[in-house]
Structure formats: structure tokens, C-alpha cells
Chain A
């Protein structure tokens, strides 16, 4: 099975001490390593207001992890661990590799088009999207 890319976001209770959050992250990292997965990045967004109440909390401590794996059951195991943990009030795993693939394909097509036509190329240099995507990439890293 080819490698898949996932976004794993989980939300902890806002009152959770920082060390506990680090502990949760450590256990997740351990699980990922066990299943021969890779962690592209871990991002602590910190406490932020949620759009709706979750388990009576209006705020939550967001953590984002970007993972790669060839084993689908890694996700199951991670979610199981999050479910078990009392500090975690919400989590979500999104498979992103197909979206990224599509994005790359579209980018390549645009570049090819730009290369073919000098007029189109001049347009392409403006690249308002190009400005956005590096920003997105920067956020992810």
C-alpha cells in the first residue's frame, strides 16, 4: 500500500496542564513509530475558542499532527488512544494525500500551460495562488 498522509487534530480540555499534553503527544508519537509511520510535524495551536461547546467547554487546546503511514490500522490505534484519554474532548483524522496529489497535479498543469504560452507565463508569474500555497506549506511545517 502506498504511503498515505493524514492530519490528526485533537482538542484537550483547556485546563489540562502542558506536561499532560506533551505526554499525550509522546504516546501518539510512540504509536506512530511502532507502526512504521512518520511524523511530518506536530503543531500546538494552544487554547482557542471553539465554534460550539464540546463537553461543556467553550475553549479547547488544539494540537495538530501531520502523519504518514502505509498501515491504515495506525489511525485506528491512534484514535483508540485518544478516545481512552480523558483529557481529550474531540479528535479528527483526515486523509489528505489525495487532495495533495490533486493540488500538485493542478499546479503542474498550470506551470506547463504557462511554459507553453509566454503570455500565459506572464500571467502565471503573478501567481496569487502561488503566494497562498507557500503560506499554507509554511503553516504546515
Chain B
């Protein structure tokens, strides 16, 4: 077990730092170490190189598959980066439908102050049991929801609005 771990650690080190090889191969198998030592330094940089080379040279050589992929993605992304476009397109595909975007009613009407003395208006924002309807349902923006909640609470205090449904 100890030998194995040693070998492994050595080989790992060999991968990481080829300079130490000359000292260690003597302890373990020179035959296995030599190829191991030979591979990593070659194997890794070539990979990086190959990626780069694909990026640069790949287009002329393997132009067809890449060329097909990119324009398609580009269309989806509306002229943005090809990757982003691809992602957006994917989401749309998964959802399959659009949800109608909710708009804050108070923003549309440009309301700067929600009056607690008009319970008729506020009643549309509470549920049957008197709960304040969350903004994820009504679509109210955070600022107006804050004002709305305050107004509803004031109205409740002075019995203009109910705390609960049946009282």
C-alpha cells in the first residue's frame, strides 16, 4: 500500500514537476517512470495548444461544423456573443411559452402616495381572508408594495379594512 501511494504520489509529482524525475526513478521503476515523465510535459501543453489551434486554425480546416453551429446561435442571441445566444435560446425552448409580464399598477398610474383613507382601492390588494396579496402575484413593484402595505395596515388600524376575513 505504501509503495502504491508512493508511486502515485511520485507519478503525480512527475506530472506536476518533471525536474524531480532524475532523483526518483532510481527508487521505483525506471521503465514506467520514463514514459510517465515523457508524457505529461508533452501531453498537457499540446492540449492547450490544440485548443488554441482549433480556435485559430480550426476554422479554415474544420470550418463546416463550426460554421454551422455559430450562425445558428448568433441568430438566437440577436447579435450578442454566440454562447449567450445559445443559452437564451435553450431556455426559451425548455419553457415553451411566454409568461405575460406583470406591470406595477401604481407605476402605470404614476402614484406617489397611497392613501389609507380609500379602502375601496386597497381592497383589491387583499385576499378574502384579509391577507395582503404578495407582489409576485399582483406584479406591484417593491416600492409601491411597501407603500401599499403601510396604507393597508393603517386602514386596518382604524377599522376601514379587516384584519381577517370573518369578524
Q: Please determine whether chains A and B interact with each other in the same assembly.
A: yes
**Residues of A participating in the B interface, judged by any CB pair closer than 8 Å:** 7, 9, 11, 50-54, 60, 64, 90, 92, 94, 99-100, 102-103, 106-107, 110, 127-130, 132-133, 136, 139
Q: Which B-chain residue is minimally distant from A9 (CB atoms)?
A: B158
Tally inter-chain residue pairs, CB-CB below 8 A: 57
Contact yes or no, A92 B167, CB < 8 A: no
Q: How far is the CA of A117 from the CA of B84 in the complex (A)?
A: 34
Contact yes or no, B112 A133, CB < 8 A: yes
Q: How far is the CA of A7 from the CA of B160 in the complex (A)?
A: 15
Q: How far is the CA of A84 from the CA of B27 in the complex (A)?
A: 100
Across the interface, B117 reaches (CB within 8 A) one of A51, A110, A139, namely A139
Count of B interface residues, CB-CB < 8 Å: 21
Interface residue B23 (Cβ < 8 Å from any Cβ of A) = no
Q: Could you say which residues of chain B place their CB within 8 Å of the CB of A90?
A: 158-159
Contact yes or no, A51 B162, CB < 8 A: yes
Per-residue interface assignment for chain B, residues 26 to 52, with 1 indicating a CB less than 8 Å from any chain A CB and 0 otherwise:
000000000000000000000000000
Q: Which B-chain residue is minimally distant from A91 (CB atoms)?
A: B158
Q: Could you say which residues of chain A place their CB within 8 Å of the CB of B160?
A: 50-51
